[in-house]
Amino acid sequence: MNRKKFIKHTFWGFTGMSFLTALYSWQIEPFWLEFVKVKMPIKNLPNDLEGKTLMQISDIHVGNRFDYHFIIKSFKEASKLNPDFVVYTGDYVSTYKDEVQYYKLKETLNYSVKGKLGTVGILGNHDYGRNWSQIEVSNKISALLKENGINLLRNQSTEINGLNFIGFDDFWGLNFDPALAMSGFNKSKANIALCHNPDVCDLDIWGKYDSWILSGHTHGGQVKPPFLPPLLLPVKNRNYSSGKIELSNQRTLYINRALGHLWQVRFNVRPEITIFELQKV
Contact residues for 16 (Cβ-Cβ < 8 A; gap 6+): none
Specify the pLDDT at position 21: 82
pLDDT of residue 238: 95
Q: Which long-range contacts (CB under 8 A, 24 or more apart) does 28-33 make?
A: 29/266, 29/267, 29/268, 29/269, 29/270, 30/66, 30/70, 30/261, 30/264, 30/265, 30/266, 30/271, 31/70, 31/271, 32/270, 32/271, 33/74, 33/77, 33/259, 33/270, 33/271, 33/272, 33/273
Q: Which residues of the chain have pLDDT under 50?
A: 6-14
What tens digit of pLDDT does each residue of 43-80 get? Answer: 999 999 999 999 999 999 999 989 999 999 999 999 99
Which are the contacts of 164, defined by CB distance < 8 A and separation ≥ 6? Answer: 157, 158, 184, 185, 186, 189, 190, 191, 192
pLDDT of amino acid 8:
45
Beta pairing, strands 272-280 & 53-57: antiparallel
User: Helix 135-147 vs helix 102-109: angle between axes, to the nearest 10 degrees?
Assistant: 20
What pTM, to 2 d.p., does this model score? 0.93
pLDDT at 100: 87
pLDDT reported for residue 10: 44
pLDDT score at 4: 54
How far the first Cα of the chain sits from its last, in Å, is 65
Q: What is residue 17's predicted lDDT score, i.e. its pLDDT?
A: 62
At 6 the pLDDT is 41
